[in-house]
Amino acid sequence: MVVLTFESYIELLYRSNKILISSHQNDPLILDRVTLNRYGDLPLHIASMLGHTNFVKEILNRKPQLAMEPDSQRRLPLHIASTKGHVELVRALLSASTEACLACDCDGNNPLHLAAIKGRSDVVKELVQARPHAARAIVQQETILHLCVNHNQPEILKFLIETTGDDEFVSFKDSQGNNILHLAVVYRQTETINFLLLSTTIQVNEENSSGETPMDILGQGPKDLKYQQILQSLTRAGAVEAKIGNLFRQDPQSSRNEIGVDGLDDYNKRQASPFYLKETSKNSDDWLDKKRNTLMVVASLIATMAFQAGSNPPGGVWQEGSREDPNIKAGYAIMATIHPLEYQIFLVCNTVGFVSSLSIILLLISGLPFLKHRFFMWILMVIMWIAATSMSATYSIFIWLLSPKAESNTFRNVVICIVLVWIGLMTLLVVGHIIRLIAIAMRILRRLLFPKKRPILRPTIRNQDGM
């Protein structure tokens, strides 16, 4: 009689079935001995993991009860084969015993749960056909439908609902009170959401343990493209937000003080919710980021134009000097000699625009914390308007000096008038904006000096007659 150790027996997994048959003939108790001596990695489990279907069939032909032998994690060979997706091997194990479909490992999962998590659709169909009741097993207060949503397996979810689902099964809630529609909205699974809304009777306004409907959960996430798609689907299905938000809209003639104590508590919780505050802060940050990016681009363009105009003034520079006139030297601006007054105005306007745009650029790249407030962002915008107005005045001087007076006097006057009108409008905007900043500052100062207490919203207690 040949006695094999467990290690030498595992090597048989990689050899032909004839060796197994020969070894079993020499030692009929070899399968029982290996199972008795080891509780960890059993031969049938290893063969199921590697997908050796013929080897598994040979073992099951001799010892079909080994299909129900667990390992140290309480997993049966069917658990492993289902996880790996070996369909033929799953059929062989089911032929030995369909009871294995209901066996749970140390985590409470049966083979059907593991196959659904891994997306083994063919294995799921085999297991459901063998034991449909395995799909209704509860794992840590979650059904297999919850597992499908948590692991984004929409096809298996559809199959399970169409074959084994009913209203109670589909609407089952987990430990947090979430049904599968709540979870699908959390994970932004548009395909699953549309299927649940169109093909099931799940309640679209069902509340979880926190009193939140799917519409409430959707509003707590980012407002991206998926948000718009899911919002449209939920709205068509009649979804609404939190119950306190609906009380304000259901009866336009009712007053807010008729809500009740519970409604006020929910309303206060929602206003103090970190998601509500985070969303408000996010909108403000997005507005500031857009303003900062716009100011940076415009300021860079104005600084470039001002530098170019300063280094290359209208009319160019003298190429050679003159002994008779000391103001005529190589590199001096021609405009400074011929039109000294206009040149001074040109330099003032161009310098104001250049310095203003550089100031904006330096402030934006400095990263100072006070620039994240709207008040200081408005100040930067005022500086930008001053820079733009200065460049407009510089442009007017260009047109005045470079256009011949005799031939194009009318055209020159029209252009200058247009620029002056535009400068006037910009001046009105600057003045109006300064007035607005002063008003905001006065309002903030008044709130600091004379704080106003908010009125407490008190519920109206109704008697039994509804009065």
- Report the pLDDT value the prediction gives residue 395, as an integer from 0 to 100: 79
Per the domain annotation, does 232 fall within a domain? Answer: no
- Report the pLDDT value the prediction gives residue 314, as an integer from 0 to 100: 76
Q: Is the pLDDT at 24 greater than 60, yes or no?
A: no
- Report the pLDDT value the prediction gives residue 370, as an integer from 0 to 100: 57
Residue 142, strand partner residues: 139
Per the domain annotation, does 143 fall within a domain? Answer: no
Q: Is the pLDDT at 92 greater than 90, yes or no?
A: yes
Higher pLDDT: 325 or 407? It is 325
Question: Looking at 100, 115, 137, which one is the last position of a domain?
Answer: 137
- Report the pLDDT value the prediction gives residue 22, as an integer from 0 to 100: 47
Tell me the per-residue pLDDT of 296-314, one tens digit each, with 9 for 90 and over: 888 888 888 888 888 788 7
Please name the amino acid found at residue 79.
H
Give the tokens for residue 205. Answer: 């306004």
- Residue numbers of the domain that contains 426: 276-449
Rounded to the nearest integer, the mean pLDDT of the chain is: 76
Per the domain annotation, does 382 fall within a domain? Answer: yes
**pLDDT band, residue 128 (cuts 50/70/90):** very high
Give the tokens for residue 67. Answer: 């299909």
**pLDDT band, residue 138 (cuts 50/70/90):** very high
Distance between CA atoms of residues 358 and 369, nearest Å = 19
Give the tokens for residue 154. Answer: 């929409």
**pLDDT band, residue 277 (cuts 50/70/90):** very low
Distance between CA atoms of residues 336 and 271, nearest Å = 65
Tell me the per-residue pLDDT of 410-465, one tens digit each, with 9 for 90 and over: 666 777 787 778 778 777 877 877 787 788 778 878 877 876 554 444 444 444 44
Q: Check: CB of residue 350 under 8 Å from CB of residue 309.
A: yes
Count structural domains, the chain.
2
Q: Is the pLDDT at 33 greater than 70, yes or no?
A: no
**pLDDT band, residue 260 (cuts 50/70/90):** very low
Q: Which helix (H) or strand (E) holds 167?
A: helix 167-170
Cα–Cα distances (Å) from 408 to 330, 370, 402, 417, in that order, read 31, 50, 10, 14
Distance between CA atoms of residues 147 and 172, nearest Å = 12
DSSP state string for 367-392: T-GGGGSHHHHHHHHHHHHHHHHHHH
Q: Is the pLDDT at 144 greater than 60, yes or no?
A: yes
**pLDDT band, residue 369 (cuts 50/70/90):** low
Tell me the per-residue pLDDT of 93-125, one tens digit each, with 9 for 90 and over: 999 999 999 999 999 999 999 999 999 999 999
Question: Looking at 121, 137, 153, which one is the last position of a domain?
Answer: 137
CATH of the domain at 65: 1.25.40.20
User: How many separate helices (H) and strands (E) can be counted in the chain?
Assistant: 23, 0
> What contacts 463, CB < 8 A, 6 or more positions away?
none
Per the domain annotation, does 110 fall within a domain? Answer: yes
Cα–Cα distances (Å) from 250 to 253, 295, 372, 458, in that order, read 9, 45, 40, 20
Q: Is the pLDDT at 214 greater than 90, yes or no?
A: yes
- Report the pLDDT value the prediction gives residue 266, as an integer from 0 to 100: 47
> SS3 of 317, please?
strand
- Report the pLDDT value the prediction gives residue 320, as an integer from 0 to 100: 75
Q: What percent of the chain has pLDDT over 90?
A: 31
Q: Check: CB of residue 226 under 8 Å from CB of residue 193.
A: no
Q: What percent of the chain has pLDDT over 70?
A: 72
Per the domain annotation, does 162 fall within a domain? Answer: no
Average pLDDT over residues 263-281: 45
> What contacts 314, CB < 8 A, 6 or more positions away?
335, 346, 397, 398, 401, 402
Higher pLDDT: 295 or 136? It is 136
pTM greater than 0.75 (yes/no): no
Q: Is the pLDDT at 276 greater than 70, yes or no?
A: no
Q: Is the pLDDT at 252 greater than 90, yes or no?
A: no
- Report the pLDDT value the prediction gives residue 184, as an integer from 0 to 100: 96
**Of 36-40, 242-246, 353-357, highest mean pLDDT:** 353-357
Give the tokens for residue 396. Answer: 């007017």
- If we measure between CA atoms, which residue out of 362, 379, 343, 344 comes closest to residue 303? 362
Per the domain annotation, does 214 fall within a domain? Answer: no
> SS3 of 281, please?
helix
**pLDDT band, residue 270 (cuts 50/70/90):** very low
Cα–Cα distances (Å) from 311 to 315, 328, 380, 387, in that order, read 12, 17, 26, 18
Per the domain annotation, does 236 fall within a domain? Answer: no
Average pLDDT over residues 163-180: 90
Task: Assign residue 355 a region (left: φ > 0; alpha: ψ between -120 and 50; beta: otherwise).
Answer: alpha
Question: Looking at 87, 106, 137, which one is the last position of a domain?
Answer: 137
Q: Is the pLDDT at 245 greater than 70, yes or no?
A: no
Distance between CA atoms of residues 245 and 235, nearest Å = 15
Per the domain annotation, does 457 fall within a domain? Answer: no
